[in-house]
Amino acid sequence: MSTGKIGFLLHPGERAAIDEALATAKRCGFATWTALEHADSVTAREAAGTVLLITVGGDGTFLYGARLAAPRGIPVMGVNRGRLGFLNDVELSGLTDAIERFAQQRYRTQRRSLIEARIAAGGEVCTALALNEILVRSRDASVARLRVEADEEVLGLFDADGVVVSTATGSTAYALSAGGPPVDPRLHALVVVPLAPHAVISRPLVLPDEVRVLVTVVHGRVFIAADGISVVNAEDGGEVAIHPGPDLEVVRFSDSPSFHDRLREKFRFGVPHKDPVERLPESDRGQRDAS
pLDDT digits (tens, 9 = 90+) for 45-56: 999 999 999 999
pLDDT digits (tens, 9 = 90+) for 94-128: 999 999 999 999 999 999 999 999 999 989 999 99
Q: Where in the chain is the domain with CATH 3.40.50.10330?
A: 5-106+253-267
Q: Are 252 and 262 in contact (CB under 8 A)?
A: no
Q: Where in the chain is the domain with CATH 2.60.200.30?
A: 113-246
Mean pLDDT calculated for residue range 72-76: 98
Quick one: what percent of the chain has pLDDT higher than 90? 76
> What is residue 287's predicted lDDT score, i.e. its pLDDT?
44
> What is residue 249's predicted lDDT score, i.e. its pLDDT?
97
Q: Are 87 and 206 in contact (CB under 8 A)?
A: no
Supply the pTM of this predicted model: 0.88
Residues annotated as catalytic (active site), given as ranges = 59
| 5-106+253-267 fold | Rossmann fold (3.40.50)
Residue 221: closest CA among 238, 235, 237, 239: 235
pLDDT digits (tens, 9 = 90+) for 231-255: 999 999 999 999 999 999 999 999 8
Backbone dihedral angles phi then psi of residue 40, each to the nearest 5 degrees: -60, -50
* Domain covering 113-246 in this structure, CATH number: 2.60.200.30
Q: Give the number of other Cβ atoms within 10 Å of residue 214's Cβ.
A: 18
Q: Give the number of other Cβ atoms within 10 Å of residue 270's Cβ.
A: 8
User: Rounded to whole angstroms, how far apart are CA atoms 169 and 205?
Assistant: 15
If DSSP codes are grouped into helix, strand and coil, which group holds residue 48? coil
